[in-house]
Chains A and B, each alone.
Chain A
Amino acid sequence: MKGADRSKLAARLAHDVGKYVARAARNMPPRGATPAMVAMLATDLYSLAGGRRASAVLAELAGPFGEGDERLATARSLLEEADRLEDRLRAAEPAAVERGRAIALEVQSLVLDFARMVASR
């Protein structure tokens, strides 16, 4: 992949996943989230624009970068864990909501860090 194509793809990854995955997580309290906050967290993790899971969007956009980057590998693994939490999170089980929130924040950090690294080269 050419440098310009890498930069564009990384920018899209930062936008489509990095920006939206933590839209609720960034603002909700660690405990005592309202139903509306939990619903938005579920949307961010399981129904991004186009109705796709964050894990699927990440897999598509990160795929061309290969398996070598540890940040992207960790982000993939975390979003797979989030997928396994879906039923419990949607049911607003506190431990699942808290773990989903933490995953969203961590994935955002990893993806934005990766995109900045690509843009700086």
Chain B
Amino acid sequence: MRRLLVIEDGSEYSDFARLYLADEFEVTTARSASEALRMLAAESADAFLFDLRFDRAEPGTLVGDVDATARRLFGGDRGRALRYLQDQQGALILAELRSAGHAQPAVFVHDFPERRLANLRQLYGSVAAVASFDARAIGALLSR
């Protein structure tokens, strides 16, 4: 059976995948970039299912430096920088995985504007998105 690595800060995606994608995938879950990389070093995956927002994650586990982001983008405002990193965390983790050589298909459940999705594809290769938890559509995208 193919392996699906779910990357999220809660359990909504994993619960969904175990209920609706279990015929196609063995599901494992990582809650941060470092955990995903550790798991992938131990055993590869065939596809990734990403959450985008990580507003429940411990700030110390996020990809990105809050202080540097605050200085670079938000005039030193750490609160806004943290929210930015939380809101974009799935994409930032994807960047980390791609940098480490993990090129598997990645699917987000998020209503991205088309221009943003095109940008993600340009940067990170096989990236797709669906606006809702549609198991049939997600399964098809993960299997490309």
Which of B19, B20, B133, B136 is in CB contact (< 8 Å) with A19?
B133
A37 to chain B minimum Cβ distance, whole angstroms, is 7
Known contacts A19-B110, A115-B111, A116-B111; A37 and B131 CB within 8 A of each other: no
Which of A14, A27, A116 is in CB contact (< 8 Å) with B134?
A27
B79 to chain A minimum Cβ distance, whole angstroms, is 14
Known contacts A36-B19, A40-B19, A115-B111; A22 and B133 CB within 8 A of each other: yes
Q: How many A-B residue pairs have CB under 8 A?
A: 49
* Chain B residue contacts of A24, Cβ below 8 A: 16, 19, 133
Closest B residue to A27 by beta carbon equals B135
- A49 B12 Cβ-Cβ under 8 A: yes
- A49 B133 Cβ-Cβ under 8 A: no
- B133 A15 Cβ-Cβ under 8 A: no
- A26 B132 Cβ-Cβ under 8 A: yes
Closest A residue to B21 by beta carbon equals A27
Q: Say yes or no: is B109 at the interface (Cβ < 8 Å to chain A).
A: yes
B140 to chain A minimum Cβ distance, whole angstroms, is 13
List residues of A whose CB falls within 8 A of some B CB. 14-15, 18-20, 22-24, 26-27, 36-37, 40, 43, 49, 108, 112, 115-116, 119
Instruction: List, sorted by A's number, 24 A–B pairs whose CB atoms are closer than 8 Å.
Output: A14-B111, A15-B52, A15-B53, A18-B131, A19-B110, A19-B132, A19-B133, A20-B12, A20-B133, A22-B133, A23-B12, A23-B16, A23-B132, A23-B133, A26-B133, A27-B133, A27-B135, A37-B19, A40-B15, A40-B19, A49-B12, A112-B111, A112-B131, A119-B113
